[in-house]
């Protein structure tokens, strides 16, 4: 045991045993940051701190997570020099070719542990019924509505979807809560396990979407879908004359991702196709020399950034409605933008 660990040993009794190993590996500065974060968590204080202190807490927490809590799965590292995004999302991270691309492995926050016999203890339907069932209707007022629900589905179609196995799993409600469950049983496809080809983490789970903010819900996750949604004229995407998404000869919606569609999701997809095409018109007016491919790539970057900004400074701050979160989200775009200064000094 090092001298620093020996000196801080009395504090271990205040730290959950699951954290002992990782804390032992931390530098002295990171140990002190961890103690600060852990204390604030224990006291449930972070959202009640003054904004500036709350931001320091969030920055320390993010630093610790990035240093000790992010584990790559099936990833090698070598820098690559590229200047533009690809349809499949590769080279988003110059040190990780597959980062942000279609079919990367999901990363982990901890090393794999065998949980096969523990997954249904307690049963997930019991947990959902006891903790999530709404006994009495409580209106969200002006904070949230159904558009917010369609927005997060729009984002999920941009980011993640597990590669599924061909085997189905059935869950049945236990007797103690069966009378309270609208669905007594339901089936779904098991997430497929894929070999990583590495020794430390031998199997992982693949993401069939591009997990970066690239607007793939409208542009698609690969070159094949990207071609289907494009007009190949002035950089634009396909859109019907009435402003809605087009359909192919089989009546299937033409869009980047068409799974689990409903009116809310389709409306957002159509809206941002219109946004993309409007950006193309604006760029062509200002830069008439730009060709179809250039217009498409630039409009895709602009539209993807608009989507990301809406999610961070509009949607997220309504979900987590605190001054600290508002300042933190705005700081992602510019520390001096809008009225951010007010939230830092409040």
Between the alpha carbon of residue 84 and those of residues 95, 124, 214, the distances in Å are 15, 43, 12
Note if 157 is an active site residue. yes
Q: Which H or E run includes 308?
A: helix 292-310
Closest to 193 (Cα-Cα) out of 181, 177, 205: 205
Active-site residue (options: 20, 65, 157, 298) = 157
Q: Which H or E run includes 257?
A: none
Residue 223: CB partners within 8 Å, gap ≥ 6?
87, 88
Output phi, psi for 190, to 5 deg.
Answer: -70, 145
Residues 301 and 237: beta-carbon distance below 8 Å:
no
Give CA–CA dist 63/71, Å, rounded: 14
DSSP letters, 70-135, are -B-SS--------SS--TT-TTSBTTBTTTTSSSPBP-BSS-----TTTTTSS-HHHHIIIII--S
For residue 199, what is the DSSP state?
Answer: S
Q: Which H or E run includes 136?
A: none
- The tokens describing 88, both together, are 């499949």
Between the alpha carbon of residue 125 and those of residues 70, 130, 180, 221, the distances in Å are 29, 8, 10, 33
Give CA–CA dist 338/232, Å, rounded: 37
- The tokens describing 305, both together, are 């950034």
Active-site positions read 157
């Amino acid at each position: 045991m090092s001298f620093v660990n020996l000196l801080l040993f009395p504090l271990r009794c205040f730290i959950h045993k699951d954290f002992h190993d990782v804390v032992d590996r931390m530098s002295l500065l990171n140990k002190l940051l961890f103690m600060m974060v852990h204390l604030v968590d224990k006291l449930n204080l972070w959202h009640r701190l003054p904004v500036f202190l709350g931001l320091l807490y969030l920055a320390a927490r993010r630093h610790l997570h990035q240093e000790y809590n992010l584990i790559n799965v099936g990833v090698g590292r070598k820098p690559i020099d590229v200047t533009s995004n690809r349809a499949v999302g590769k080279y988003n991270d110059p040190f990780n070719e597959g980062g942000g691309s279609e079919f990367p492995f999901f990363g982990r926050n901890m090393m794999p542990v065998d949980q096969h016999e523990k997954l249904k203890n307690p049963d997930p339907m019991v947990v959902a019924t006891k903790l999530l069932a709404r006994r009495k209707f409580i209106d969200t007022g002006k904070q949230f509505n159904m558009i917010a629900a369609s927005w997060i589905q729009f984002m999920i179609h941009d980011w993640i979807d597990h590669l599924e196995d061909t085997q189905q799993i059935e869950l049945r409600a236990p007797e103690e809560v069966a009378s309270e469950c609208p669905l007594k049983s339901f089936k779904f496809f098991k997430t497929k396990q894929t070999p990583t080809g590495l020794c430390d983490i031998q199997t992982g789970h693949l993401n069939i979407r591009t997990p970066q903010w690239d607007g793939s819900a409208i542009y698609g996750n690969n070159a094949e879908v990207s071609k289907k949604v494009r007009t190949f004229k002035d950089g634009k995407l396909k859109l019907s004359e009435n402003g809605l998404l087009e359909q192919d000869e089989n009546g299937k919606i033409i869009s980047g991702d068409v799974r689990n569609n409903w009116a809310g999701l389709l409306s957002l997809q159509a809206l941002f196709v219109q946004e993309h095409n409007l950006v193309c018109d604006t760029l062509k007016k200002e830069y008439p020399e730009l060709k179809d491919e250039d217009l498409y790539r630039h409009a895709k970057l602009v539209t993807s950034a608009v989507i990301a900004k809406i999610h961070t400074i509009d949607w997220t701050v309504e979900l987590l409605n605190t001054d600290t979160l508002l300042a933190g989200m705005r700081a992602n775009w510019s520390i001096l933008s809008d009225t951010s200064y007010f939230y830092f000094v409040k």
